[in-house]
Amino acid sequence: MRYLPLSAEDRRAMLKTIGVRSIDDLFVDVPREALNAKIDLPRHRGELEVERLLGAMAAKNRPAGAGPFFVGAGAYRHHVPASVDHIIQRSEFLTSYTPYQPEIAQGTLQYLFEFQTQVAALLGMEVANASMYDGSTACAEAALMARRVTKRGRVVVSGGLHPHYAAVVRTNSELAGDTVSIRPLDVEGEEDLAAQIDANTSCVIVQNPDVFGNLRDFTPLAKSCAENGTLLIVVVTEAVSLGAVKSPGEMGADIAVGEGQSIGVPLNFGGPHVGLFATRQKYVRQMPGRLCGATVDAEGKRGFVLTLSTREQHIRRDKATSNICTNSGLCALAFTAHMTLLGEVGLRRMSLLSHEAACKAADALSSVPGVRLATPRFFNEFTLRLSANAAEIVEALASKGVLGGVPGGRLWPNDSEAEDLLIVAATECTTDADIADYAHALSEVL
């Protein structure tokens, strides 16, 4: 077995040093009838065989890069520079642990400090943490944090929030004993959320661009929230939008959370991704997750450490701000490395190129008979209303080699109003030919 260094002779010698006859003498505390249970699994295999088996499974999937691709709704295909993947495969990053021994983990700690700075700047907030699992869990944690800050028990969720995010919020907040009011589907982005706020409302959760792609300015809502002592949580699922679109901080968000996958991380069929979490300085002790801070060492040299750990489970236990331990370290590295290459200049270009591709796609697709653009003001994602069931159209498009977007029925299976909706995303990877192929295929299947 190529991964196990001990030889049979080593094992014998070591058992002798330990003073037992057989390995099972070390398992004496296991109930006898449970030890060495028969397990029906194949024997070990060489690399070549494993590659064949997994390669065959991979070959049954249609990768985004294999043809026209317009799927978004919370995960986006952007180009990642080759150097990013090389950096995250450096042994010192890939095979290290959470930086609990800072003297020999300055590499991880410094990039986390840089990550926190970049995330705070992108979201327009004062402080950011060292990442969460993904955008949806970051969103749920934000609602729990609002509960701690306001000591109130009702969460209002916009009808424009990604329904998976809304579901995760509901799961977590209801568990904590809160009520969660999820507003009805809001394709045009016209809901009046301020009217939903009452004296027990801990937070209002909104998304920009929303799940349908609408650009929405929540500045007035932020004002209403502030007047009522309610926190405004702004979610961003397309991090690349932050290069061109008004940030949560610019609108007056109290907590901003996001999915960072768009910058540096592949689609990965939905995970791992990287959750972004930022807030105001005054709430920092109510934040979940790890935080990296600057300090000095015994010789006065600058260095970094994990800090404010008394918020966390390994110290605060049942009174911790969250049970989170492992976060998304390596994806945070991919994010920060890609962001470091892009810089403000590169991100703005990537952002506007994605917007430009989406504008072209919207123009081309909405001119197909039976198609109406439902969201006129968008960034890189928009919603079409089709004259037919969108899920069936998406399947028909897939058989023509076009992955055309996310049908409303997939995200809101219990809402017949969503059946004719198709959410379409474009990025800098989208070519004019992709758009032309899509428009042509759509006119054929509708």
Partner 1 sequence: MAMNAQGRPTRADAATAPGPTFTGNRALQIEESLIFEREFGGTGVDLPEPKAKDRLGSMKRQSPLNLPGLSEPEAMRHYVRLSQKNYAIDMGPFPLGSCTMKHNPRLNEKMARLPGFADIHPLQPQSTVQGALELVHELADWLLELTGMPAVAMSPKAGAHGELCGMMAIKAALDARGETGRTRVLAPESAHGTNPATAAQCGFSVDDIPADETGRVDLSALKAKLGPDVAAIMVTNPNTCGLFERDIRAIADAVHEAGGYFYCDGANFNAIAGKVRPGDLGVDAMHINLHKTFSTPHGGGGPGSGPVVLSAALAPFAPVPYVVKEEGRYQLVETRRAAREDGENMHGGRLTAFHGQMGMFVRALSYMLSHGGDGIRQAAEDAVLNANYVLARLKSEMTPAFPGHCMHEALFDDSFLKGTGVETIDFAKGMIDEGYHPMTMYFPLVVHGAMLIEPTESESKQELDLFCDALLSIARRANAGDASLKGAPYFAPRRRLDETAAARNPVLRWTPTASVRAAE
Partner 2 sequence: MKKYTEDHEWVSVEGDTATIGITEHAAGQLGDVVFVELPAVGTKFKQKGEMAVVESVKAASDVYAPVSGEVVAVNQAIADDPAKVNADPEGASWFVKIKLSSRSELDRLMDEASYRKLIG
Give CA–CA dist 420/409, Å, rounded. 8
| Nearer to partner 1 (CB atom), residue 299 or residue 369 | 299
Stretch 204-263 residues interacting with partner 2 (CB under 8 A) = none
Number of shown-chain residues binding partner 2 (CB under 8 A): 6
The span of 16-24, 151-159, 199-207, 367-375 binding partner 1 (CB under 8 A) equals 16-24
Question: 71 is in the binding site of which of partner 2, partner 1, none (Cβ under 5 to 8 A by kind)?
Answer: partner 1
- The verdict on 91 binding partner 1 (CB under 8 A) reads yes
Q: Could you tell me the two tokens for 75?
A: 């995960």
Give CA–CA dist 301/296, Å, rounded. 5
Taken as a whole, the chain contains a residue count of 446
- The verdict on 323 binding partner 2 (CB under 8 A) reads no
Distances 309 to 142, 317, 327 between C-alpha atoms, Å: 18, 11, 14
Query: Which alpha helices (DSSP H) does 151-239 contain, by range?
Result: 163-175, 219-228
Question: 335 is in the binding site of which of partner 1, partner 2, none (Cβ under 5 to 8 A by kind)?
Answer: none
Stretch 203-232 residues interacting with partner 1 (CB under 8 A) = 215, 217
Q: Could you tell me the two tokens for 166?
A: 């809304």
Helix (H) or strand (E) holding 361: helix 329-366
- Which residue type sits at 163? P
CB of 239 to partner 1, least distance (A): 12
- The verdict on 198 binding partner 1 (CB under 8 A) reads no
The interface mask with partner 1, positions 270-289, x = CB under 8 A, is xxx-x---------x-----
Q: Could you tell me the two tokens for 140?
A: 């749920």
Q: How far apart are the first and last CA of the chain?
A: 56
Residue choice 44, 79, 316, 377 for contact with partner 2 (CB under 8 A): 316
- The verdict on 197 binding partner 1 (CB under 8 A) reads no
The interface mask with partner 1, positions 316-355, x = CB under 8 A, is xxxxx-xxxxxxxxxxxx---x-xxxxxxxxx-xx-xx-x
Measured in degrees and rounded to the nearest 5, phi and psi for residue 248 equal -55, -40
- The verdict on 45 binding partner 2 (CB under 8 A) reads no
Check if the beta carbon of residue 205 is closer than 8 Å to that of residue 161: yes
Give CA–CA dist 157/204, Å, rounded. 6
Question: 145 is in the binding site of which of partner 2, partner 1, none (Cβ under 5 to 8 A by kind)?
Answer: none
Closest residue by Cα to residue 394 from 75, 70, 64, 73:
70
Stretch 128-187 residues interacting with partner 1 (CB under 8 A) = 128, 130-131, 133-137, 144, 162, 164-165, 167-168, 170-172, 174-177
The span of 232-240, 313-321, 324-332, 420-428 binding partner 2 (CB under 8 A) equals 313-321
Residue 419's Cβ-count burial label (10 Å; 0-12, 13-18, 19+) is middle
| Nearer to partner 2 (CB atom), residue 307 or residue 443 | 307
Distances 251 to 72, 212, 233 between C-alpha atoms, Å: 24, 20, 11
| Nearer to partner 1 (CB atom), residue 197 or residue 408 | 408
Q: What is the largest CA-CA distance in the chain?
A: 82
- The verdict on 298 binding partner 2 (CB under 8 A) reads no
Q: Which residues contact 352 (CB under 8 A, 6 or more apart)?
A: 243, 244
| Nearer to partner 1 (CB atom), residue 194 or residue 352 | 352
| Nearer to partner 1 (CB atom), residue 236 or residue 371 | 236
Distances 260 to 41, 290, 445 between C-alpha atoms, Å: 38, 17, 34
SS3 state at 307: coil
| Nearer to partner 1 (CB atom), residue 224 or residue 322 | 322
Phi-psi region of 229 (alpha: psi -120 to 50; beta: other; left: phi over 0): left
Stretch 264-293 residues interacting with partner 2 (CB under 8 A) = 285
Residue choice 153, 252, 303, 370 for contact with partner 1 (CB under 8 A): 303
| Nearer to partner 2 (CB atom), residue 117 or residue 307 | 307
Check if the beta carbon of residue 214 is closer than 8 Å to that of residue 243: no
Give CA–CA dist 263/153, Å, rounded. 34
- The verdict on 110 binding partner 1 (CB under 8 A) reads yes
Question: 95 is in the binding site of which of partner 2, partner 1, none (Cβ under 5 to 8 A by kind)?
Answer: partner 1
State whether the Cα torsion 288-289-294-297 is positive or negative. positive
Give CA–CA dist 186/287, Å, rounded. 30
Residue choice 282, 315, 376, 417 for contact with partner 2 (CB under 8 A): 315
| Nearer to partner 2 (CB atom), residue 102 or residue 252 | 102
The interface mask with partner 1, positions 228-267, x = CB under 8 A, is --------------xxxxxx--x--------x------xx
| Nearer to partner 2 (CB atom), residue 26 or residue 315 | 315
Question: 421 is in the binding site of which of partner 1, partner 2, none (Cβ under 5 to 8 A by kind)?
Answer: none
| Interacting residue ranges for partner 2, rule: CB under 8 A | 285, 309-310, 315-316, 319
